[in-house]
Amino acid sequence: MNLFRQQLESTFKLSSMADNYNVLELNIGLGNNNNSKVGGHAGQSPRQRCPAPFLLKTYELLEELSENEKDSTKIVSWNAEGTGFVVWSPAEFSELTLPRYFKHNNFSSFIRQLNTYGFKKISSKKWEFKHEKFQRGCRHILGEITRKKCEPSVFPAYLKSSSEENNATSSMEENNDHHQLLMEENKNLKKERLELQMQIDECKTLEMKLLECLSQFMDSHQNKVRRLC
């Protein structure tokens, strides 16, 4: 009875796929923004850092929804050249898309964030936005996009005071870089641990169910056999 086995296996696969937790899922790998501590120095090439959650989510949203459906039902997509994106249907975008990625469903809050990160609306007729560093296939440069600051705070706090003495500063800097990396790795490890533990919990639950299954199945067949004798 292979059909049965298939059923079991599909059950097995389904439950180990961990497709539950829509909300949790999206947070994974989006929470670790260590932007705050990394200071860019004028004249240096832009330091790569972990992109802001907002940018990552917006990028992923485009990756996930851009190819969907026919043009007529498209809610949001990259523009033809991949140099920007278009919200084709603000209403559906607000109602359906935003709450899947953010903690709200307000188009204006989304726009506010775009402005914060320096995106430009490039047409008065369409909701099309561009940012030099936000393009299709270029996830790796998202980290170069920064929030517009109201403060002149370019240096991290602990470097500002001693920005003249370069010896001390540069070794401090290295130290701090390492420190940052460590903390980031640490955080990710903890998140991973949680995920692994959740996987284990799922596994255990499934095992219990399988065992129950097995035992009940045995009982019922025992009875059948007995009746047939």
Binding site for DNA (CB under 7 A): 27, 31-36, 52-54, 102-104, 106, 108-109, 112-113, 115-116, 120-121, 146-148, 150, 153, 157, 160, 178, 183-184, 187
**Taking the CA atoms of the chain, what radius of gyration do you get in angstroms?**
26
Phi and psi dihedrals of 51, rounded to 5?
A: -65, 150
91 binds, among a second copy, DNA, none (CB under 5 to 8 A by kind): none
Binding of residue 138 to a second copy (CB under 8 A): no
| C-beta of 96 vs 206, nearer to DNA | 96
Residue 63 Cβ vs a second copy, minimum distance, rounded to whole Å: 20
Q: Where are the alpha helices (DSSP H) in 17-160?
A: 22-27, 53-65, 90-92, 98-101, 107-116, 157-160
Q: What mask, x for binding a second copy by CB under 8 A, covers residues 81 to 110?
A: ------------------x---xxx-----
- Interaction with a second copy in 3-22: which residues (CB under 8 A)? 3-5, 7-12, 14-22
E-assigned strands of 131-213? none
In the 8-state DSSP scheme, what is residue 43?
A: T
In this structure, are residues 173 and 44 in contact, taking their beta carbons and an 8 Å threshold? no
Residue 109 contact among DNA, a second copy, none, beta carbon within 5 to 8 Å by kind: DNA
Cα–Cα dist 67/76, whole Å? 9
Residue 206 interacts with a second copy (CB under 8 A): yes or no? yes
